[in-house]
Structure 1
């Protein structure tokens, strides 16, 4: 059901907590009023069984409303409120019939009071239009129960009683309809404000995340991309120049992403990072990207994390002397005091190095002049020159 067709309780279920307390209080007032007026006018009761049935219907009606209004278990649907409304109307009719032929003052009847009270509590549970319809029906029923006593009450008394009871029903029913309309409108407005705030916050968070990820380059891209798309939308046509410009903008975005990824510190990808000579700054883009890829692979293995990795950068030859992927005569071209690195991925004694590392070692070999991989029982050590 759309928000425009829901009751206040359906829009804001928590409001049903207070509404139920109000329904309990109104139900108590209705029963106490009926009991008091009956005890004060026992001479007007012509049929005690009918009066007893009227009380049963009254208590059952408000009791059902209190049961149906439990905000933690159920919602007061149209059918559930209809049961309460119908029982109270039946109680009013039975109360009038119980006094038929002996009611000399219809102004002390409690039926119209109970009907007005059941309309009053409907503001939180029904829509304004339904309350208005219920008010009209209730006014007709109350007028009918008053006219039943035309044989024992004079015309002036009937007119006065009908006016009083009708005014009570219309006033409380109309007030409930106005209250429901105001409450529903306020809840809808608050819901729209909350949605707007949440939507704007999400947009700001996404924009901030993109800007933090891409760096300041996103500002330049925004200055170029947004005007391009606005102009394209206005012209509603795509030319060869537009295609070339779109390709250039895509290239700028990709290069910005690659540059941002390459500039991310390596120490955030390993548990132990040792670079006393600050040699990481000497890594080129390809070497840094290869290292990031290998580190991400090892950290993403089942049961592994970045804390299981260590990376040490220093000066000196590659331990082990092997040069996988590099020619032996190429080593002579390297400076004697070259920069080296050692990447250690610990797997634990319970499980050896995971298979499938060859492609990642090959990636390292493409980026670095010398790479030497040493798998052991519980770890793998990759040494490289740069």
Structure 2
């Protein structure tokens, strides 16, 4: 068995998280996902409308149609790739979406080149601006600024180079008209994301202080549960046994065997109480009431967490919050068999956690309830997957790069 090294713990907890709403507030960013397909649909609708308006100005109609199709591809990819189930939305996804949208705008300009009357009703800059305004929710502001400036320069240069416009003015004016929507909406989206991430960071500081206090309460509650189990075991086994010995006034060989068995069980409970972990406490507290109602036990609670190397130590405060919410959500499902819940941790070099449970509920409903937490784990420097087969739920999450550091 390989022990969890301090280097792995430090490396996992020191992973730099991008300053974006998707990374800092995964569940909040998920609720804003619908904005992307809506803005994309608006961009396509305007592109179709603008294409119809320009129908008398085309020198290549087919190229104009291709431009709209390319834009539709970019919008579709953006809507799919930003979906919470595929989090996180990475750098190359961002550049690809904006790049393809920019290509679509350039194709439209090429389709009306030499016959275009006005820059104001061209759809290239509007489409790029509508998609880029949502990017600060998923990508760092500096990165979005780069894509916005590049798009503005390209479309601005194409506008300045056109010579068929009915309004005569300096090329710089045409470039400004084309570049302004892109830069303005990018700045607006960046300002909103900056404010949102700032508020999120301040809220996290407050939440972290509260979590520190709650962890102490969690530990005390778990200790009370263990103490109650030990007292129950004493009352159910040790006290009747000693009372029987006192009444009989003699000790038999069977009494010695029974005394050893009772002592072994009490010793095991004491050892378990000393080695309890955050995962064990969280799972026991989430399932405690349901287990007591389903099958009241007067013996020690079975081990539901298999983490001999204490791999839970690699989890950051944000990851613990999400894992705790995931466990609580699973424990609250009405179709859950509480005795089937088990959480194991393995591979100290690349810590991996597996949560298993038997839940008699429709697969679609389970995915709807649990997928946000799986996506949130993906957004906080982990790799998480969920599988539901015949009522058996398996959620796997952990680190996936060499050395245990994602």
Q: Which residue of 2 aligns with 1:97?
A: 110
Tell me the alpha carbon deviations over residues 193-248 of structure 1, each in whole angstroms, 9 at most, x when there is no partner. Answer: 222211122235557989x89xxxxxxxxxxxxxxxxxxxxxxxxxxxxxxxxxxx
Alignment of structure 1 residues 225-264 onto 2, 5 Å: none
Which residue of 249, 255, 264 corresponds with 1:318?
Answer: 249
Q: Which residue of 2 aligns with 1:219?
A: none
Which residue of 102, 109, 112 corresponds with 2:122?
Answer: 109
Q: Which residue of 1 aligns with 2:202?
A: 189
Q: TM-score, normalised by structure 2?
A: 0.53
> How far apart are the structure 2 equivalents of 1:19 and 1:48?
36
Q: Which residue of 2 aligns with 1:137?
A: 150
Q: Which residue of 1 aligns with 2:33?
A: 20
CA pair 271-317 structure 1, distance change in 2 beyond 3 A: closer
1:16–1:70: 8 Å Cα contact kept in structure 2? no
- Point out the structure with max Rg over C-alpha: 1
Q: Which residue of 2 aligns with 1:349?
A: none
> How far apart are the structure 2 equivalents of 1:28 and 1:62?
7
Alignment of structure 1 residues 258-277 onto 2, 5 Å: 269-271=234-236
Q: Tell me the matched-pair count.
A: 248
The answer to whether residue 212 in structure 2 is matched with residue 199 in structure 1 is yes
Which residue of 155, 162, 165 corresponds with 1:149?
Answer: 162
CA pair 34-269 structure 1, distance change in 2 beyond 3 A: same
Q: 3-state DSSP class of the match of 1:126?
A: coil
Q: Which residue of 2 aligns with 1:291?
A: none
2:161–2:171: 8 Å Cα contact kept in structure 1? no
Alignment of structure 1 residues 331-342 onto 2, 5 Å: none
> How far apart are the structure 2 equivalents of 1:158 and 1:38?
23
CA RMSD, 1 decimal: 3.7
**Distance apart, 1:58 and its partner CA:** 0.6
CA pair 113-157 structure 1, distance change in 2 beyond 3 A: farther
The answer to whether residue 32 in structure 2 is matched with residue 67 in structure 1 is no
Alignment of structure 1 residues 269-288 onto 2, 5 Å: 269-271=234-236
**Distance apart, 1:158 and its partner CA:** 4.7
Tell me the alpha carbon deviations over residues 92-140 of structure 1, each in whole angstroms, 9 at most, x when there is no partner. Answer: 1111111111012121111111111121111211111111222211221
CA pair 22-209 structure 1, distance change in 2 beyond 3 A: closer
2:117–2:164: 8 Å Cα contact kept in structure 1? no
**Distance apart, 1:31 and its partner CA:** 0.6
> How far apart are the structure 2 equivalents of 1:125 and 1:316?
74
> How far apart are the structure 2 equivalents of 1:316 and 1:117?
86
Q: 3-state DSSP class of the match of 2:243?
A: strand
> How far apart are the structure 2 equivalents of 1:111 and 1:316?
95
**Distance apart, 1:147 and its partner CA:** 1.5
2:59–2:111: 8 Å Cα contact kept in structure 1? yes
CA pair 76-208 structure 1, distance change in 2 beyond 3 A: closer
The answer to whether residue 44 in structure 2 is matched with residue 31 in structure 1 is yes
**Distance apart, 1:160 and its partner CA:** 4.5
1:100–1:148: 8 Å Cα contact kept in structure 2? no
Which residue of 9, 24, 27 corresponds with 1:11?
Answer: 24
Gaps spanning 5+ residues in structure 1: where? 214-260, 273-294, 296-305, 325-342, 346-352, 361-386
> How far apart are the structure 2 equivalents of 1:208 and 1:17?
33
The answer to whether residue 91 in structure 2 is matched with residue 78 in structure 1 is yes
Q: TM-score, normalised by structure 1?
A: 0.55
